[in-house]
Amino acid sequence: MRRLCVFSGSSSGVSPDYRKAAEDLGRLIAGQGIGLVYGGAAVGLMGAVADAALAAGGEVIGVIPEALVQREVAHKGLNDLRIVGSMHERKQLMADLSDGFIALPGGIGTFEELFEVWTWTQLGTHAKPCALLNVKGFYNHLLAFLDHVIDEAFLKQVHRDMIVVANEPTALLDALKTHRLPTETKWIGKEER
């Protein structure tokens, strides 16, 4: 893996464990010689993961829409900050630059980014792994909901298994390195409804 994209909140959340996990992940990615691609902001968990990777001497590429630069949330300490015209362009460029995706805790933007790249994996648009860093069980309810979606025949287990999940950064990166994506891209068929 040359570069990993990290999706995360523009807030740090209520628990200091979220920020610590973001910093640990940034240091670990840089320490393993992997580049970081992220949303380009200096705030919240986004800023924490970027600052930690930079402090560890890592490559950090930020991708941010012009509208957010104007709100002064762009990280001014990046050597490579790419300013794009829209959120759509941001997500496409982040995906193009990355070999895999990790979601830290975050809000609807983080969820939307993760679900889009996961959908692209399911469709065969790319063959890049997607992962959740499940800090303090942050994603437990989402994972339970995905199991419910399987039970209701709207998702196959093979596609659910495309998401790598771990509770701490080292285990997550180790799992990403050995994860093999399934080759089945077929959705639910008429006979399975």
- Given a cut of 90, whether residue 190 has pLDDT beyond it is no
- Given a cut of 70, whether residue 184 has pLDDT beyond it is no
Q: How does 14-44 read in b/e, with b if 16+ C-beta sit within 10 Å?
A: eeeebbebbbbbbbbbbeeebbbbbbbbbbb
Domains of the chain: 3-180+187-192 (3.40.50.450)
The confidence band for 71, taking pLDDT boundaries of 50, 70 and 90, is confident
Span 74-87, pLDDT tens digits = 999 998 999 999 99
C-alpha separations of 90 from 43, 54, 63, 178 in Å: 17, 21, 6, 28
pTM: predicted TM-score of the whole model, two decimal places: 0.94
CA nearest to 75, candidates 134, 117, 113, 26: 26
| Angle in degrees, 0-180, between the axes of helices 108-123 and 87-97, rounded to the nearest 10 | 50
Span 28-56, pLDDT tens digits = 999 999 999 999 999 999 999 999 999 99
CA nearest to 126, candidates 156, 99, 90, 104: 99
Average pLDDT, the chain: 93
Q: How does 96-114 read in b/e, with b if 16+ C-beta sit within 10 Å?
A: ebbbbbbbbbbeebbeebb
**Dist. CA 124–CA 105, nearest whole Å:** 26
The confidence band for 88, taking pLDDT boundaries of 50, 70 and 90, is very high
- Given a cut of 90, whether residue 189 has pLDDT beyond it is no
Span 121-149, pLDDT tens digits = 988 899 999 999 999 999 999 999 999 99
**Dist. CA 186–CA 174, nearest whole Å:** 28
**Percent of the chain scored above 70 by pLDDT?**
94
User: What would the mean pLDDT of 112-122 be, rounded to a whole number?
Assistant: 95
